[in-house]
Structure 1
Amino acid sequence: MTDFAARLLYASAWMLGRLPWPLLLRLGDALALWWRWREVREARVARVNLELAYPELAPAQRERLRRAILRTTARQALETARLWTRPHARNLDELLVERHGTELMDRAIAAGRGVIVAAPHHGNWELLNQWLAWRTPLAILYRPPESPVVEGFLTRVRAAAGDAERVTQVRAEGPAVRQLFKRLGDGGVIGILPDQQPKAGDGEFAPFFGVPALTMTLLGRLAARTGAAVLFAWCERLDESTRPRFALRIEQAPPGIADPDPKAAVAALNAEVERIARRDPAQYQWTYKRYTLRPPGSGEPNPYHNR
């Protein structure tokens, strides 16, 4: 039954992905309006996050930013259905119109010390995954979805696109993480989403937009112990009047990310993710509950409680 449901979900994404780009974008805008009208989870979470991260803005300014965030998020949700169900080489040819810093990736791979790609939730990270899989075999750390149907759907999407042989999915669990150390030790490439909230005990608190956020220490430990190069990468959204257009950007990570002091490492990590997110706040994933866990003893409540 799970496999059937995953196949049905894939068929729905396939049909949605065959719509013309202008229509798909308009549907995304309509979805964003519905989210705001119904005050769904995405709309509520974005409001809380903006209140925390941008207290200096007037309420009307935050509301304009929230509308832009929901519009971008909805468009991305629908465009990803098209990205997942069409040949990845075609996606890259049609949508990735600029490529910056690719020489950094080439040099890091050639050095043979391993490469850690830190990919914040900015722009379209699914298109980035497709470029990385095209450029090199890699292992990606991921948190399994709660639904087995969704996990089956994602497995089917990647297999159908030919990435199953190029991309190794590594669950964010203790035993599996050893695969990442081995991969880097062999000079391989791994990808990590650095702005996902880890489980309690698996991270350190550091400021993110001025608010303490529990942040993964794994990336810093991998860099410090293996000496691998750390690169930040994202696909930034450009003008999209008739179809989405993106610029691939790859940049060298600041050295503090490999600091042996985990508190210093996570502070450097959050500062870099924040710098990228501030390039265009509407492109960042503000619909994610980044601040759920609060520092021990702070007395701070979960800001999303009953929201």
Structure 2
Amino acid sequence: MDERVAAAAYAAAWAAVGRAPESAGRAVFRHLADRSWRTHDEGTRGLERNLRRLVGPGATDAQLRALSRAGMRSYMRYFYEMFRLSAMTPERILGDTRATGVETLEKAIADGRGAVVALPHMGNWDHAGAWITLRGIPLTTVAQRVRPESLYRRFTAHRESLGMEVLPLTGGAVGTVGTLTRRLRDGGLVCLLADRDINGTGVEVELFGEAARVPTGPAALAMNTGAALLPVSLWYDGPHWCIRIHDEVPVAEGATRSERIRRTSQDLVRVFEGAIAEHPEDWHMLQPVFVSDLDADRALRARREAGAAPEAPTRAGGRAG
């Protein structure tokens, strides 16, 4: 989609969703999800490639397709609620949330340790950010810089309006890592999505029995600052938003810094595996995360940039069911 068209579409969605009746808005976004699923578009195929690793080779194509349909509906529910979140009352955000383990987070903040909350792309992470700030704990997070710049600024302003401090993943005037470190050493809360290596500097771990790449930031920040590293999983239960703050993942021992980060990241991913397996329809991972898919994706982009005709995808390259 053209960048200007995309920016205009997002702006229109933000304006329309806040005004439209909720039942009508949810119906529209469910229709969009079903249309993407029926046409088996790129996003749906990417979701199915990832879900295939979770359900294993024993699942039928029909079972995978049913799961991906539920997944696309959950994904579009996230977008609908993200657009509408600023119009929701604090009473709604707090009252319709079912959370466990919050005392673990609150203790880390009260003790002055600070906390690195690491989340997979599950449920509604924007809602979770609004929820915790409404409970009196401000947070700092990092956002991928999307194009056009106007769209990135809109996303940033939206999250800042909910009480979050948002730093750019790249291209910021002030060093993002340094700012995150200061927030943690001051006993603050840093929240990071942690199941996809966006900038290509992550570490290889095992996820659902296969090599995948995840960012090193959560483990490195916890190791450098002594902050508690807390995995958090998110999912939907009917009209409710569900949040589970898991037990702290201790920084692993190791002979080298890189080995400690890798082991800690693997321990973190083990928690993600269990959470995703319990609520697979709420894992919104449409992009490549497994190494074989990342390699195939890079090869395809290289061929496109070179002007070569792409080869037909093979199952070894991660073709969806």
- Band the TM-score falls in, shorter-chain normalisation: 0.7 to 0.9
Aligned to 2:230, what secondary structure does the other structure show? strand
What are the residue-to-residue correspondences of 1:5-44 with 2, within 5 Å? 9-10=10-11, 12-44=13-45
What do the CA deviations read for 1:228-251 (whole angstroms, capped 9, x no partner)? 112222442112xxxx31123222
The AA in structure 2 aligned to 1:187 is G
Give structure 2 stretches of 5+ with no counterpart.
301-312, 314-318
- The offset of 1:158, in angstroms, is 3.4
Cα distance in 1, alignment partners of residues 242 and 187 from structure 2 = 27
- The offset of 1:94, in angstroms, is 4.8
| Match of residue 76 from structure 1 | 78
| Match of residue 215 from structure 1 | 214
* Mapped contact 1:128–1:234 kept (Cα < 8 A): no
| Match of residue 253 from structure 1 | 248
* Mapped contact 2:7–2:151 kept (Cα < 8 A): yes
* Mapped contact 1:292–1:304 kept (Cα < 8 A): no
| Match of residue 171 from structure 1 | 168
* Mapped contact 1:194–1:219 kept (Cα < 8 A): yes
What are the residue-to-residue correspondences of 1:280-291 with 2, within 5 Å? 280-291=279-290
227-236 vs 271-280, greater mean Cα deviation: 227-236
* Mapped contact 2:29–2:80 kept (Cα < 8 A): yes
- The offset of 1:253, in angstroms, is 2.8
Cα distance in 2, alignment partners of residues 205 and 127 from structure 1 = 29
The AA in structure 2 aligned to 1:125 is W
* Mapped contact 1:24–1:78 kept (Cα < 8 A): yes
Aligned to 1:112, what secondary structure does the other structure show? coil
The AA in structure 2 aligned to 1:48 is R
- Name the Cα RMSD after superposition: 2.9
- The offset of 1:22, in angstroms, is 2.6
* Mapped contact 2:159–2:166 kept (Cα < 8 A): no
The AA in structure 2 aligned to 1:206 is V
- The offset of 1:162, in angstroms, is 5.2
* Mapped contact 2:142–2:167 kept (Cα < 8 A): yes
Cα distance in 1, alignment partners of residues 232 and 167 from structure 2 = 19
- The offset of 1:268, in angstroms, is 0.9
What are the residue-to-residue correspondences of 1:257-268 with 2, within 5 Å? 260=257, 261-268=260-267
Compared with structure 1, are the counterparts of its residues 304 and 277 closer, same or farther at alpha carbon in structure 2 (3 Å cutoff)? farther
Aligned to 2:242, what secondary structure does the other structure show? strand
Compared with structure 1, are the counterparts of its residues 105 and 245 closer, same or farther at alpha carbon in structure 2 (3 Å cutoff)? same
What do the CA deviations read for 1:21-76 (whole angstroms, capped 9, x no partner)? 33233222211221023222211211222234433312221111111111211222
Compared with structure 1, are the counterparts of its residues 238 and 156 closer, same or farther at alpha carbon in structure 2 (3 Å cutoff)? same
| Match of residue 190 from structure 1 | 190
What are the residue-to-residue correspondences of 1:77-96 with 2, within 5 Å? 77-83=79-85, 85-87=86-88, 89-96=90-97
Determine whether 1:155 maps to 2:152: no
* Mapped contact 2:141–2:191 kept (Cα < 8 A): yes
Q: State how many pairs are aligned.
A: 290
Determine whether 1:126 maps to 2:123: no
* Mapped contact 1:208–1:274 kept (Cα < 8 A): yes
TM-score for both structures, normalised by structure 1: 0.83
Compared with structure 1, are the counterparts of its residues 248 and 204 closer, same or farther at alpha carbon in structure 2 (3 Å cutoff)? closer
Compared with structure 1, are the counterparts of its residues 104 and 147 closer, same or farther at alpha carbon in structure 2 (3 Å cutoff)? same
How many percent of aligned residue pairs carry the same amino acid? 25
* Mapped contact 2:249–2:264 kept (Cα < 8 A): no
* Mapped contact 1:232–1:252 kept (Cα < 8 A): yes
TM-score for both structures, normalised by structure 2: 0.80
Cα distance in 1, alignment partners of residues 9 and 263 from structure 2 = 46
Give structure 1 stretches of 5+ with no counterpart.
none
Aligned to 1:157, what secondary structure does the other structure show? helix
* Mapped contact 2:129–2:139 kept (Cα < 8 A): no
| Match of residue 59 from structure 1 | 61
What do the CA deviations read for 1:144-171 (whole angstroms, capped 9, x no partner)? 1132121121133235x352xxx22122
Cα distance in 2, alignment partners of residues 172 and 304 from structure 1 = 25
- The offset of 1:7, in angstroms, is 8.5
